[in-house]
Amino acid sequence: MDKLVIEGGRRLEGTVEISGAKNSSLPILAATVLSKEKSIIRNVPQVADVFTMVKILKSLGAKVLHTGNTVEVDPSGIRNPVLTYKIVSTMRGSICFLGPLLARFRSAQISFPGGCVIGPRPIDLHIKGVKALGADITLEHGYVLAKTKELKGTRIYLGGAFGSSVLGTGNVMMAATMAKGKTVIVNAACEPEVVDLGNFLKKMGAKISGLGSPSIEIEGVKKLSGANYSIIPDRIEAGTYMIAAAITKGDVTIKNFDLSLLGAMLDKMRDAGVSITEKNGHVRVRREKKLKPISVTTLPYPGYPTDLQAQMMALMCVVPGISVITEKIYPERFMHVSELNRMGASIILEGPSAIVSGNKKLSGAPVMASDLRASAGLVVAGLVAEGTTEISRIYHLDRGYENLVAKLQHLGAKIRREKDLR
Ligand code: EPU
């Protein structure tokens, strides 16, 4: 296992290029199996979750050519729509094969994904959606068994206690592309990654309208073709570098990035006093003045993203005053709190809220990564902490950040990857 070693206190300066969005790439790679024809997906980040997705496609019988940031999928040879526990247990995103396999093969057998360290991860909305389209679903021996004679379009309300579902919307949208008649998804997720998936499906020949709004309409077609598509930039990666720039009093330009992808994140950064400007499609992030504490509540898009909660908490740790960070998507997603406190932060948890008493300083310490975004929060904290921070279990970071160490080194951070011999 590897660890990251960060010597804090370096100001980040320069430019950084953002990779393609992991959370678009996963459902889009799954969507390629909707057709018998070859698809070519570009700007796919080289991260562990994508490698897992490629393994799943191959295990299904697809031919996959993965070179750099391009993945070519020839799904013509898929015969057996079964995803076993061994392959699904490493990545929850594999549930997004349910819709496409069901649409193309009229049956799918997928190991139940279970929970993870950020809290329970139910799939009731995915199941509700495909059932409404006419699938028979049984849960047996840890598997979701789905089959249907024919999927039929209908109106589906897709909301739960925590609002809309990103992959749930994606799954139902994919299943509906070849259903008979019209499907309307009400309370659909509006996340840019759902729009990206929808745009890919449209390139395959699907008839979809309302993307980016809470009401998506899909008119079923008989078949879909392969498509050539490029993934949008990763807004969570961009947001992470923006926060890293702010915490190190830096001056960082994010190349070719559309600020509108950030939703409420942009407002919250500006409320805190971070300067963010856009010129010719490049975004410059500077911290020129004292920052102010803020209150942040995570919400579905365009609300503040849960995937940037830990990073923002790290920033607020060094802003004097009280900040309150409330998690409305995953109320248990606070594994980073104890680790930030090990670094000298003062954070207490009150139910789904973290109350951060900002200090001026964090101090480097050995800490442990627990999930992808918690790990990103610890990296951001380590960049400003006095002394050395050692982050172990960084395989979590490998799931979602392409070339993190090289990109941060390029910006001037003192960070390296080492074998963890403990
Ligand atoms: N939920 C249900 N029932 C369901 C599905 C979800 O109650 O059937 C609940 C969840 O427990 C949560 C809320 O609804 O409280 C939203 O979950 P959602 O379904 O939107 O999450 P997801 O689609 O499984 C994606 C991202 C996550 C990101 C969330 C929220 C991918 C592969 N994953 O998950 O990304 O946090 O949306 O924006 O797209 C990450 O990248 O680190 C990550 C965890």
Output the CA torsion sign for 331, 198, 54, 142: positive
Helix/strand/coil for 113:
coil
Residue 397, ligand 1, Cβ within 6 A: no
| Predicted confidence (pLDDT) per residue in 171-185, tens digit | 999 999 999 999 999
Q: Residue 1: pLDDT band by 50, 70, 90 thresholds?
A: confident
Q: Give the pLDDT of residue 115.
A: 53
Q: Which of 21-30, 82-91, 136-145, 397-406 has the lowest mean pLDDT?
A: 82-91
Q: Whose CA is nearest to atom 31 of ligand 1?
A: 23
The rounded distance, in Å, linking the Cα atoms of 317 and 385 is: 11
Question: Residue 54: how many CB atoms within 10 A of its CB?
Answer: 18
Q: Are 296 and 309 in contact (CB under 8 A)?
A: yes
Residue 167, ligand 1, Cβ within 6 A: yes
Q: Are 94 and 113 in contact (CB under 8 A)?
A: yes
Residue 160, ligand 1, Cβ within 6 A: yes
Closest ligand 1 atom to 23 CA: 39
Residue 121, ligand 1, Cβ within 6 A: yes
Q: Whose CA is nearest to atom 10 of ligand 1?
A: 121
Q: Is the pLDDT of residue 237 over 80?
A: yes
Q: Is the pLDDT of residue 117 over 80?
A: no
For residue 204, the CA-to-ligand 1 centroid distance in Å is 25
Average pLDDT over residues 19-23: 98
Would you call 96 a catalytic residue per the annotation?
no
Q: Give the pLDDT of residue 360.
A: 80
Residue 162, ligand 1, Cβ within 6 A: yes
Q: What is the DSSP string of 70-93?
A: EEEEEGGG----EE-HHHHTT-GG
Q: Give the pLDDT of residue 336.
A: 96
What is the Rg, in whole angstroms, of the alpha carbon atoms belonging to the chain? Answer: 21
Q: Are 320 and 294 in contact (CB under 8 A)?
A: no
136-140 sheet: strands from edge to edge: 82-83, 107-111, 143-147, 136-140
Average pLDDT over residues 330-354: 96
Q: What's the burial of 421, exposed, middle or buried (CB within 10 Å: 0-12/13-18/19+)?
A: exposed
- CB-facing half-sphere around the CA of 236: CA atoms within 13 A: 25
Q: What's the burial of 286, exposed, middle or buried (CB within 10 Å: 0-12/13-18/19+)?
A: middle
Q: Give the pLDDT of residue 116.
A: 64
The rounded distance, in Å, linking the Cα atoms of 341 and 337 is: 6
Closest ligand 1 atom to 305 CA: 38
| Predicted confidence (pLDDT) per residue in 76-112, tens digit | 999 999 998 888 887 878 899 999 999 999 999 998 8
Q: Residue 381: pLDDT band by 50, 70, 90 thresholds?
A: very high
Helix/strand/coil for 416:
strand
| Predicted confidence (pLDDT) per residue in 278-299, tens digit | 999 999 999 989 999 999 999 9
Question: Residue 14: how many CB atoms within 10 A of its CB?
Answer: 13
Q: What is the DSSP string of 251-293?
A: EEEEET--GGGGTHHHHHHHHHT-EEEEETTEEEEE--S----
Which pTM does this prediction carry?
A: 0.97
The rounded distance, in Å, linking the Cα atoms of 220 and 175 is: 9
Q: Is the pLDDT of residue 264 over 90?
A: yes
Token representation of residue 396: 């979590």
Q: What's the burial of 319, exposed, middle or buried (CB within 10 Å: 0-12/13-18/19+)?
A: buried
Q: Whose CA is nearest to atom 35 of ligand 1?
A: 307
| Predicted confidence (pLDDT) per residue in 223-236, tens digit | 999 999 999 999 99
Task: Based on DSSP, count helices (H) and strands (E) in the chain, helices before strands.
Answer: 14, 24
User: Which of 96, 116, 190, 317 is flagged as catalytic?
Assistant: 116
Residue 19, ligand 1, Cβ within 6 A: no
Angle between helices 192-203 and 22-31 (to 10 degrees): 30
Q: Give the pLDDT of residue 217.
A: 98
CA 369-370-372 angle, to 5 degrees, is 85
Residue 125, ligand 1, Cβ within 6 A: yes
Q: Give the pLDDT of residue 113.
A: 73
For residue 31, the CA-to-ligand 1 centroid distance in Å is 18
Q: Which of 101-115, 182-196, 251-265, 394-408 has the lowest mean pLDDT?
A: 101-115
Instruction: For residue 25, give the DSSP letter.
Output: H
- CA end-to-end span of the chain, whole Å? 9
Q: Whose CA is nearest to atom 9 of ligand 1?
A: 162
Q: Give the pLDDT of residue 91.
A: 82
The rounded distance, in Å, linking the Cα atoms of 171 and 189 is: 11
Question: Residue 342: how many CB atoms within 10 A of its CB?
Answer: 17
Helix/strand/coil for 419:
strand
Domain topology for 2-19+233-419: UDP-n-acetylglucosamine1-carboxyvinyl-transferase; Chain (3.65.10)
Pick the CATH number of 22-230 from 3.40.50.12500, 3.65.10.10, 3.40.1160.10, 3.40.640.10: 3.65.10.10
Helix/strand/coil for 309:
helix
Output the CA torsion sign for 124, 125, 128, 131: negative
Residue 122, ligand 1, Cβ within 6 A: yes
Residue 194, ligand 1, Cβ within 6 A: no
Average pLDDT over residues 138-167: 95
Closest ligand 1 atom to 119 CA: 11
For residue 412, the CA-to-ligand 1 centroid distance in Å is 34
- Name the segment(s) of the chain with CATH classification 3.65.10.10: 2-19+233-419, 22-230
For residue 164, the CA-to-ligand 1 centroid distance in Å is 9
Q: Give the pLDDT of residue 114.
A: 59
Q: Whose CA is nearest to atom 37 of ligand 1?
A: 166
